[in-house]
Amino acid sequence: MSEEPLTWERKPKGFLANGVAPWAGFGVTLRTLFSKPVTEQYPFEKIEPYPRYHGRHQLNRYADGLERCVGCELCAWACPADAIFVQAGENTPEAQYSPGERYGAVYQINYLRCIFCGLCIEACPTRALTMSTDYELAGPSRSGLIYDKEQLLAPMADGQLAAPHPMAADTVDTDYYAGKVTGPDPEQVEWVRDRRPEDPTLPAAAAVTAEKGTSAR
C-alpha cells in the first residue's frame, strides 16, 4: 500500500491577520522605544557576573598550600580547541609541590584558542582546575594571552604555606583528595623555616598551627 507524500500548503491569511501582522512584528521595537535605556558604564563600573560564569581558569591549592594539579594532562586531552599544554614533573623530598608522585611543572592555557566550554573542568580528577568569574582577558600582544602556571595559580589564602614542602605528617595523597588535610602542620612549618626563613607565607602559617595546637590542648 503506497502512502501519499506529505505536502505543505500555506493557508491564506484573513484580512484581520494581514492587518495585525506588521504591528505584531514591530511589537518589540515599540516597547523598547519608550523604555529607559540601559547603559553600562564599563570599565568604570564593572558588572558582577553570575557565580557560574565561565571566565579565566584558576589552578587551586589544598588547605596547607600544596598544589592540587598532579600533571595528569586529562584537561589537555579533553580540550576540543587544543588550548592547554601540561608537562608533569616528579616530586622529590626536597621539592614536593603536590601530594603524590607528580605535579604540573608546566601549565599553559592559550586564550587565543580557548572557547570557555568547561570540558577541562569536568575532566580534572582533583578539582585542581576551576573557572573564575574574571572576564578581562585583553592583552597588548598575542603572546600575552598565553597564560602560564604562575598567572593561573590561585593566590595564597591566609594560613596556607607556599610550596614546596612535605605532605602533612602521617598522610598519603588520598587523604588530600578526601579533604582530610585542613591546614599546615608544625612539621611543615619547621621544614620551610629551616630552608626558606624569609618565605612571606611563613608567619601566617605558623600562627595557624600555633592556634590549632592551643585549641587542641
The pLDDT of residue 65 is 96
The pLDDT of residue 197 is 95
Flag whether 10 is in a domain: no
Q: What single letter denotes the amino acid at residue 97?
A: Y
Q: pLDDT (tens digit, 9 = 90+) per residue, 98-128?
A: 999 999 999 999 999 999 999 999 999 999 9
Flag whether 27 is in a domain: no
**Can you give the CATH number for the domain in which 148 is found?**
3.30.70.3270
The pLDDT of residue 216 is 40
The pLDDT of residue 194 is 96
Residue pair 188/175 in contact (Cβ under 8 Å)? The answer is no
Flag whether 103 is in a domain: yes
Flag whether 42 is in a domain: no
Kindly give the parts of the chain with pLDDT less than 50: 214-217
The pLDDT of residue 77 is 97
**Total domain count, the chain:** 1
Q: What are phi and psi of 175, to 5 degrees?
A: -65, -35
Say which residue the cell 626563613 belongs to: 197
Contacts of 113 (CB under 8 A, 6+ apart): 81, 82, 83
Flag whether 172 is in a domain: yes
Flag whether 201 is in a domain: yes
DSSP the chain: -PPPPP---PPPP-HHHHHHHHHHHTHHHHHHHTSPP----TTTSPPPPPTT---SEEE-B-TTS-BS-----HHHHH-TT--EEEEEEE-BTTB--SSSSEEEEEEEEETTT-----HHHHH-TTS-EEE-S------SSSGGGEE-HHHHBPPPPTT--PSS-PPPTT--HHHHHTT---S--HHHHHHHHHH-TT-TTHHHHHHHHHHHHHHH-
Flag whether 11 is in a domain: no
The pLDDT of residue 23 is 75
Q: pLDDT (tens digit, 9 = 90+) per residue, 52-79?
A: 999 999 999 999 999 999 999 999 999 9
Q: pTM, whole model, 2 decimals?
A: 0.78
Contacts of 77 (CB under 8 A, 6+ apart): 123
Q: Show the domain range for 153.
A: 57-216
Flag whether 25 is in a domain: no
